[in-house]
Amino acid sequence: MHVSVHFFLALLARGIESSRDISLLLAFIALVLLCVVAELQKATGRMFEPLIKIHIGFSLVFVASLTTYAWNSSRVILLVFLGLSIAFWFLKIGQTLYRTVVTGIIKFDIKRPEYCKIPVVDALHINIRLGKELQIHPGQYVYLRVLGLKRCKLSVVQSHPLFICWWRDHEIAILLERQGGLSRLLEPTGESTKLFIEGPYGIKIDLSPYSTMLFCATGVGIAALLPFI
């Protein structure tokens, strides 16, 4: 970010003289907007999926602008940039595969909630069976990547954060409300399918010092508070 600001100030000082300068300016604007979107994602949970799509859009603009700048500057810079990007991508994929192998994810099934009264009309109960027991604490969440979703062939490249509602032995359960994105594509067929899982993430919250607690939530957000009860 500091390097981008330096380039931006230098560009303003000498003015826009070529297509390289335009590419650099677009890359800087995209990077600033990426930082803004990232902060908005932390500040609100209701706009996660629209913000993640905006984040991807600005990322593509940033990569395209930076690639154009490097192409017009030096082939060496372009090769280094592409090499680092590919290396980080493989590192991320390797981390996901490692977590999946260690966790031993097998499959999951989807159905309507039966035993839990959640004030949401269109709710789904996702039951995930693990090959290895996880160390889970109340308030933690996981990222899911669904494999072989018929209505979305690219579902495996989409990562979705979902809170863990309850767990036992080698099973974890998740409740979600069907809205847009992945949740709208999931159907309570009762058939099992496979997925990648990352996590659990989130800090351990110790409520033992408190004698009385007041929890507030709306809709399916109540599900995230169930482990504390």
- Output the pLDDT for position 115: 44
Cα dihedral 4→9→13→16 (10° resolution): 40
Residues 218 and 171 in one domain: yes
Residue 87 lies in a domain: no
CATH number of residue 192's parent domain: 2.40.30.10
Q: Are 141 and 202 in contact (CB under 8 A)?
A: yes
Residue 152 belongs to some domain of the structure: yes
User: Is 204 inside any structural domain?
Assistant: yes
List Cβ neighbours of 227 (8 Å cut-off, separation of 6 or more): 137, 138, 139, 164, 165, 166
pLDDT for res 218: 77
In this predicted structure, what is the pLDDT of residue 191? Answer: 56
Structural domain of 13: 2-73
In a domain, 95, yes or no: no
Q: Could you tell me if 156 and 200 lie in one domain? A: yes
For every one of its 229 residues, what pLDDT tens digit does the chain have, with 9 covering 90 and above? 555 565 566 656 656 666 666 776 777 777 777 777 777 766 555 566 677 778 778 888 877 877 777 777 666 766 777 777 788 878 877 776 676 655 555 555 555 555 445 555 567 778 888 777 778 888 888 887 777 666 666 666 677 788 888 888 778 888 877 776 666 667 666 555 667 777 787 778 888 888 888 888 777 777 788 888 7
The number of folded domains in the chain is 2
Q: 204 with 139, same domain?
A: yes
Instruction: State the distance between the two ends of the chain, measured CA to CA, in whole angstroms.
Output: 43
Residues 161 and 222 in one domain: yes
**Tokens 């700048």 correspond to what residue?**
69
Clarify whether residues 133 and 61 are in a common domain: no
Contacts of 21 (CB under 8 A, 6+ apart): 11, 15
pLDDT at 8: 61
Q: What is the pTM of this model?
A: 0.57
Are 58 and 142 contained in the same domain? Answer: no
Residues 57 and 114 in one domain: no
CA–CA distance, 82 with 80 (Å, rounded to integer): 6
